[in-house]
Amino acid sequence: MNVLLTGYKGFIGGHMLTALANAGHNVSTYEWGETLPSVADQDWVVHIGAISSTTERDVDKVLKQNFDFSRQLYDASRTSGVNFQYSSSASVYGLTSTFQEDAPVDPRTPYAWSKYLFERYVRDNPSKSIVQGFRYFNVYGPEGEEHKGDQASPFAKFKHQAETQGKIKIFENSENYLRDFVHVSKIVDAHIDFMRKSVSGLWNLGTGETMSFLQVAESFGVPVEFVPMPDVLKTSYQTYTCADMTKFNQVR
C-alpha cells in the first residue's frame, strides 16, 4: 500500500518508517517545513508528526502545528477517501485517575489541549474512510531519543545520566509517581496491525501496567539522588497513568 508518514524524523516516526518499509509498504514522508506529498495518491496517512514537548508554552505555535495542520491533513484525506491514522496522547487525561477512552479528560498543557482538540474535530467531522486514533502512553525505546533532551523517556534520560555521571537524579516522591511505560515496538506494531482492520475509533495504547520512576532509576544500578520538582511542572505533572486496554484488546 501507499502510505504517507508524517514526523518520520522523530523518535517514534523513525521506528515507524523502518517498520512500514519492512512490511512492504511504499512510504512517502513529511516533516514540518518540507513539501507535503500528494494525499490523494495514498492508501493511508499515518500522522504522528507534532510538537511533542509537554513543557512548550507557545500556544499559537503548538496549535498551528498540532491542531491546524492536523485538521488540514485530515480534511484532505477525507476529501480524497484516504484512510487516516493519528497519534494522540495520554496527556489528555491530565490529573484524572480513570483511563478509559470515554472517561472525562483534563488536559493541562498546550500539547495536551492540541491533541484533545484534534480528537474532537475528528469526532465531529466523520469520514467515510477508516479513521484510527491512538492515545500513546509513556513511550520508550532502545534508540532514537537522543534529540529529545528533557522530553526523552526516563529510560533514555536515566541511562545517559548513569553512563555520564555515575548517578541518576529523580524528583522527590518518585517512588509514588507511577506511569504506564510502553515500548516503541508496541506502538509501531499496533499501527501496522490496525491498518489491516476495517474499523474506526480511538484507542489507548499502553500496557495496562505501571512502574515507578524510582524503579526505572534503580534498574541501572547506580546511586539515586532526589531533587525538588520545578514549579513549572507542579500543576500539570501526571503522577499516575495506566492505560485501560479493554477496548484495544477487543479489536486486537
Spot the catalytic one: 9, 64, 121, 148. 148
- Indicate whether 31 and 114 sit together in one domain: yes
**Is the pLDDT score of 229 beyond 80?**
yes
For residue 16, the enclosing domain spans: 2-139+181-206
Spot the catalytic one: 93, 111, 116, 136. 111
- Indicate whether 78 and 199 sit together in one domain: yes
Asked if residue 241 belongs to a domain, the reply is no
Q: Does 186 qualify as catalytic in the annotation?
A: no
**Is the pLDDT score of 143 beyond 80?**
no
Residue type (1 letter), 159: K
- Taking a C-beta distance cutoff of 8 angstroms, is the pair 114, 59 a contact? no
pLDDT tens across 7-45, in order?
A: 999 999 999 999 999 999 999 999 999 999 999 999 999
Q: Which has the closest alpha carbon to 196: 134, 123, 252?
A: 252
Residue 82, all three cell numbers: 484516504
Q: What is the pLDDT of residue 89?
A: 97
User: Any idea what the CATH number is for the domain that residue 115 is in?
Assistant: 3.40.50.720
- Indicate whether 9 and 47 sit together in one domain: yes
DSSP conformational letter for 150: G
pLDDT tens across 43-100, in order?
A: 999 999 999 888 888 999 999 999 999 999 999 999 999 999 999 999 999 998 899 9
Dist. CA 6–CA 30, nearest whole Å: 5
Q: What is the pLDDT of residue 15?
A: 96
156-160-161-165 Cα dihedral, nearest 10 degrees:
170
Dist. CA 200–CA 239, nearest whole Å: 31
Dist. CA 200–CA 133, nearest whole Å: 8
How many domains would you assign to the chain?
2
Q: Does 148 qualify as catalytic in the annotation?
A: yes
Asked if residue 153 belongs to a domain, the reply is yes
